[in-house]
């Protein structure tokens, strides 16, 4: 089975991206990293990607008049690179239904909560304030509603007494780094099993 051509979308430091690049460096992994895209020119993850020998491009959303034009530029770059699967890794722009439809069934995201709990922002603060005993992270297919697509895999951590949102985020992030490469491999296998149209 040939490896799927992978692009990773980031907005910032890119620690999850780095774990995916490490996994995809193994020739037996079902995806090969071909492109990293950031909507911020100063995202630290761009340099990390280049250090792994992966092409990294900034397409700053601020350079475009509106969301649609920005997304058309991203879509064009992804198609030029023959991308077959898209992994969002700390990509902090909400995507329009148009973009989601272009990549439906080929786009996954990591979110720092046990979905369906806490879609959106401030997930760790919300878990602490709700008195949850457990928190965690989810990898899911991207659908038109934010953080609402089918879940591929989750990992759980305890919420400890007195946790700050930052402490909980650090504990969850350790699990994100383990979860995402496994979940991406599962997603690739699901795509490869689909009959080609
Ligand atoms: C991660 O915790 C990821 O789950 C979260 O942003 C962080 C990015 O860190 N994503 C979201 O909140 C998406 N809604 P990273 O840049 O070090 O991977």
**Higher pLDDT pick, 194 / 129:** 129
89 lines ligand 1 (CB under 6 A): yes
pLDDT at 191: 97
Name the residue with the closest Cα to ligand 1, atom 7.
90
Mean pLDDT score of the chain: 97
pTM across the whole model? 0.97
Non-local CB neighbours of 21 within 8 Å, separated by 6+ positions: 8, 33, 48, 49, 52, 54
- pLDDT above 60: residue 197: no
Name the residue with the closest Cα to ligand 1, atom 12.
111
Place of tokens 């280049």: 50
pLDDT at 196: 67
176 lines ligand 1 (CB under 6 A): yes
Confidence of residue 136 (pLDDT cuts 50, 70, 90): very high
73 lines ligand 1 (CB under 6 A): no
Q: What is the 8-class DSSP label of residue 140?
A: E
pLDDT at 195: 81
Mutate to test the pocket of ligand 1, among 10, 89, 93, 148 (most ligand atoms within 8 A of CB): 89
Sheet holding 4-10, edge to edge: 56-58, 31-38, 4-10, 85-88, 107-111, 134-141, 151-158
Confidence of residue 128 (pLDDT cuts 50, 70, 90): very high
Residues 90/13, Cβ–Cβ less than 8 Å: yes
- Partnered with residue 155 across adjacent β-strands are 137
Identify whether 72 is a catalytic site residue: no
Q: What percent of the chain has pLDDT over 90?
A: 97
pLDDT at 43: 98
Residues 57-75 pLDDT 10s: 999 999 999 999 999 999 9
Residues 13-34 pLDDT 10s: 999 999 999 999 999 999 999 9
- pLDDT above 90: residue 9: yes
Helix (H, G, I), strand (E, B) or coil at 111: strand
- pLDDT above 60: residue 101: yes
């Amino acid at each position: 089975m040939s490896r799927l051509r992978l692009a990773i979308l980031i907005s910032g430091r890119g620690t999850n991206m780095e774990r995916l690049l490490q996994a995809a460096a193994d020739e037996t992994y079902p995806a090969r990293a071909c492109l990293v895209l950031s909507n911020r020119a100063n995202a630290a993850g761009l340099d990390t990607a280049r250090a792994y020998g992966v092409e990294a491009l900034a397409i700053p959303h601020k350079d475009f008049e509106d969301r649609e034009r920005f997304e058309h530029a991203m879509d064009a770059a992804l198609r030029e690179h023959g991308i077959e699967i898209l992994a969002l890794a700390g990509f902090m722009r909400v995507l329009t239904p148009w973009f989601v439809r272009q990549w439906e069934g080929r786009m996954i995201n990591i979110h720092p909560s046990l979905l369906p709990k806490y879609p959106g922002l401030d997930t760790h603060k919300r878990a602490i304030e709700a008195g949850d005993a457990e928190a965690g992270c989810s990898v899911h297919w991207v659908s038109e509603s934010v953080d609402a697509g089918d879940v591929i895999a989750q990992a759980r951590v305890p919420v400890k007494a007195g946790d700050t949102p930052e402490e909980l985020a650090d504990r969850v992030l350790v699990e994100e780094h383990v979860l995402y490469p496994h979940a991406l491999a599962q997603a690739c296998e699901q795509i490869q099993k689909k009959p080609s149209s």
